Amino acid sequence: MSVPFIPGKNVEVPEIDFQARISLPGANSALIVVDMQNDFVKEGGTLVVPDAQATIPNIQQLLTKARGAGVHVAYTQDTHFDNDPEWAIWPEHCHHATWGWQIVEELAPQHDDLICQKSRYDGFYGTWLDHFLGSVWKVENLVIVGTVSSICVLHTAASAGLRWYNVVVPANGTSALTEFDQALALRQISWLYTGKVCRSAADIQFV
């Protein structure tokens, strides 16, 4: 009779296949910024991710390159209202029309960017994201950045992979609640969803 695996204090992390450099055609690529909102990123937020603030310059760098190459940009915006059942799992956060719900000022969307408000972890669930990516923009490649790596970033990347988008994630453009969660997300994306991960936003070029 087999004994189920019970993790101890030390768990070996499988090797993550980091790509040295990734080039994507700007014409059929999109950049998705996941949940970079005050409640997750800024001091005073109700569910701050420790490393989220540090990812802002790296995401800014990618946004500049993407917009310069004509890459479509989309944001997901975690959005909740009174008595949301998710608040039984997490502290109250991203209440619609509050400061915590707003996307951080440094990454403010431009007038022609897509903003998808969502009530669950997956950026595709119940939103118009797939409609614009596939039907309107004819996108094949998705670069995904943001927070939280093992939750909203991972669920969005998974949903994209299941739709056969080519997913790319730079490690320094994402943030997690723990180091384990960060490693888990990058491993899942690079292996299970056949995506590509790289260490830095600087490793991604749009051509």
Q: What is the pLDDT of residue 165?
A: 97
On whether the 24-206 domain is CATH 3.30.420.40, my answer is no
Q: What is the pLDDT, as a whole number, of residue 8? A: 65
Would you write out the chain's pLDDT as a tens digit for each of its 207 residues?
566 666 666 777 789 999 999 999 999 999 999 999 999 999 999 999 999 999 999 999 999 999 999 999 999 999 999 999 999 999 999 999 999 999 999 999 999 999 999 999 999 999 999 999 999 999 999 999 999 999 999 999 999 999 999 999 999 999 999 999 999 999 999 998 878 999 999 999 999
- Write b or e for each residue in 132-169: b if 16 or more Cβ atoms lie within 10 A of its Cβ, otherwise e: bbeeebebbbbbbbbbbbbbbbbbbbbbbbeeebbbbb
- 62: three-class secondary structure by DSSP: helix
Give the pLDDT confidence score for residue 6 in this predicted structure.
Answer: 66
